[in-house]
Amino acid sequence: MLYFYPKDDTPGCTKQACNLRDDFSALKNRNITVLGISLDSSQQHANFAAKYQLPFPLLADQDGRVARAYQALFSLGPLQLAKRHSFLIDPEGVIRVVFRQVKAGQHSQQILQAFEQLNQA
């Protein structure tokens, strides 16, 4: 699962990251790998991950190239941020579910529900 988020250590992004952290074992038990990505630097990610004890990697996309490829880049004049979008990707690299309406405090539940629905089909 690849999730884009706007900025480290901001209220919504912290809520989302901590929600994923709190349900990390449930995600891991289903073999769901969690990767977070934003336009922040590796050092900002390291500080954010340490502060909130995040058990998953945060990737730096400082030029926005990856966010742009996933149509998750938001530009407001010279300011660029990643949109709060997530992608459930299968082991073969196929995007199975796209989350464009992410609820920061309930994101892990959204992922788990979508995963269960995929496995029932």
Nearest C-alpha neighbor of 88 from the set 67, 68, 107: 107
> d(Cα 100, Cα 106) in Å, to the nearest integer?
14
* pLDDT tens figures, 26-84: 999 999 999 999 999 999 999 999 999 999 999 999 999 999 999 999 998 889 999 99
Domain around 97: 2-120
Active site residue 18: no
The single residue of 1, 2, 13, 81 carrying the catalytic annotation is 13
Average pLDDT, the chain: 96
pLDDT for the residue 120: 87
Q: What is the CATH number of the domain that holds 43?
A: 3.40.30.10
- The pTM (predicted TM-score) of the whole model is 0.94
pLDDT for the residue 121: 65
> d(Cα 34, Cα 89) in Å, to the nearest integer?
10
- Give how many domains the chain has, as a whole number: 1
pLDDT for the residue 14: 98
